[in-house]
Structure 1
Amino acid sequence: MDTGSTAWMLASTALVCLMVPGLALFYGGMVAAKSVLNMIMMTFGSVALVGCIWVVYGFSASFGDSIGGAGILGDVTEYFGMSGVMTDDPKAVIPLSVFAAFQALFAALTAALICGAISDRIKFGAWMAFTGIWVTVVYLPVAHWVFAFDGKGVTGGWIVNKLGAIDFAGGTAVHINSGAAALAVILVLGKRIGWKKEGGAERPHNLPLVMLGAGLLWFGWFGFNGGSALTSSNTASVVVLNTFTATCSAMLGWLLVEKLRDGHSTSLGAASGAIAGLVAITPSCGAVSPLGALALGAIGGAVCALAVGLKYKLGYDDSLDVVGIHLVGGITGTLLVGVLGTADAPNGVDGLLYGGGLSLLGKQAVGAFAVLAYSFCLTWVIAKALDKTMGLRVRPEVEQEGVDVHLHAESAYDLAHPQTLEPTPAPAAAG
């Protein structure tokens, strides 16, 4: 047991946990004041539900021995209720329990990402029901495909082992998966009342909150990507460097597109550009050099900045640009592994620009679009079934008056009873 690597994984798990309030604040600041609590509640609520599912059967379905050796789904009974996870294996580099906790947060955050696309208009109960079903039917199999490596007497997922695609920390399993799911739910749920080309139904109510959330996500992402090395090593160090580098260049790439397209660069664009860079570098952080990370981040930031405008042309109401950032950014980062990958990086595989040919790019494309298709189709079925049974959407008057008050009986800001100071009496007139 490597105590240094165990300490790094414990720290990385804590870093990733900080991404939960980071995501809640990032999303919460971008919605109207009447919806911020609902946005935060959907984020925290999905994390709580997925955490419980993970303990009962989620971890086993993702990382258990593949059923029938097909690489589709892990054996749900192998670690059911976390049985065997607490056993101290002297041959392991890190305890299985810390790996289970680390991966639990991946599952929880992937589900939580989806809610940013459907703000202001979904029932909280319907969202929780959707989360439980979606994680079970969509996330757990995809996580097995991408994250479960073959071992001694153990068969893992088909994308990472049979296909041989590279996804260091979840470009497919997390970002393409959640982005495709978000698009499917949007199409079932419909547009917000008043949604229009000029910027959506509602403007962001608190941009400093958005920036704070983005900063917390950036901080936590060092654990998200760096912890995926599973050791305290040179690999983790390179990954952390590449993560920081790509985020910086992506922010600049997004701001440049804004300046050229709109004539100004915005704080919302800076925050969104940073997240786009983090998304794009997630699958590729162990495959590229720092210069490659600079290029990848700049491309990812610019492409995502252009992609978010497609919702107005294509007519789908992606409230907080989950499709434009996570789906498009995830695809961009995954495919660019096949172009910018270098054998000098920890993954040790050359992409097209380093003489590796088209083979790796083809594998990356198959993995990315297989996850996209599976997630989109299954999510559409889940959302449609829930809409026909319990109903997904709130009543029009609830949407217009604000989901915070109607769904949670709370408001984020006490604007109705502001605290006022007693007016200072005017001086008596002379004479």
Structure 2
Amino acid sequence: MTYPPHDPYRTGFLETTDGASLYVEESGRADGVPALWLHGGPGGSLGLGGYRRSFDPRAFRLVGIDQRGSGRSTPNVVDDLAGLGRHTTPRLVADLEEVRERLGIERWVVGGVSWGTTLALAYAEEHPDRVRALALMAVTTTSREEVDWITEGVGRLFPEEWAVFDRESRRRDDERPADAYARRLASDDEADRAAAAASWDRWESVHVSLDDPDSRAQGHLGPGRREAFATLVTHYWSNDGFLSGERSVMARLPRVDRVPAALVHGRRDVSGPAATPWRLHRAWPASTLTVVAGEGHGGPRQGGALRAALGGVAGLCRPRPPCPASVGSTSSGPTGCAGCPSTTRATASSCWRARVGGWASSVLGSARRGAAWPSRSGGSGVRDRVSGRGPSRSRRSWTGGTPSRARATGSGSSGRRSGPKPPW
């Protein structure tokens, strides 16, 4: 079950210190648990706001951002190719910090999907004291291995389409496909940029089509969105997400070892195989991993598991009795776990599983459970479930840069309230 549709109570644009203008919206309740949602891409957007239906509007103060260069944020990357060098993951992390500070938020829950999970992880590793918990679906870290897989290795499953994608890249002998497309999409040749964007977009629609072959003909709507998406994703991928070596997500994972995290992934995700979240989970005692059988890069059952985890997070961030895993202890609680008096890594992980895992089990219901892998902390943190159908998303329009009114859409609530003026 998704939460009812609800509009933002505040929208606007935040000017960053280097001159970019980020589209920001807030929904839910102004006094709720602060949360941030990070969309996919790079080069995606908040779209029509379907992400809001994963967050209980009665519990969260939800912040959504169109990341720099994409969506409603300006300048669009296509209109500012000369400024492409300002598009890096550290700069995106700095953008998030500027938003947090401008909104007066001390700590927040951070959620994301696909590329948004990489950005969420990079942000949490840079600012672990600002993150209450992480809720991530279709988990990636944008490593060289992952980029090479999605642009080359997965071609073994789609050899016909990959042969076209590789040929149309026009790559040089010393280039990978991602490098060749990034070079062409950053050029001054408008016709070549358009051709490269169309080729890239066709390939993107192929490797996510295992569950829905008809989606291969869809892709991104409109040449403008297509080119912006392809420009940013190839720029980041050709640079290993600007997270290589000692800056990689895995290398810095110890910085968040006490930050609770719910990882949700599809067993049939051939774009980003489950090996990535599995490696994270194995090295992250405070994490849980739910692998949903029968789904790929996202899906309704994964969405249900994510909503369940977020419901558990809302409970963690409110005062509550000590969890069963820590009864009898008298020490202070770990980061992001209000009410849990345990400081040990193993017990912090058990606390997270006891609360969030229970929510996930209740939502996934009576679906058949598969084998569970052991975690490094000794418990069983992985769930494997059979997929099912979920409700469809609703369309919602955005309101530009002016404050809007939002419907309070919790159970039994149909009133309206207006939000304060944007602080930016």
TM-score computed with the length of structure 2 as normaliser: 0.26
- Larger RCO (CA within 8 A; separation ≥ 6): 1
TM-score (norm 1): 0.26
Higher helix share: 1
State the structure with more CA Rg. 1
The structure in which a higher percent of residues are strand is 2
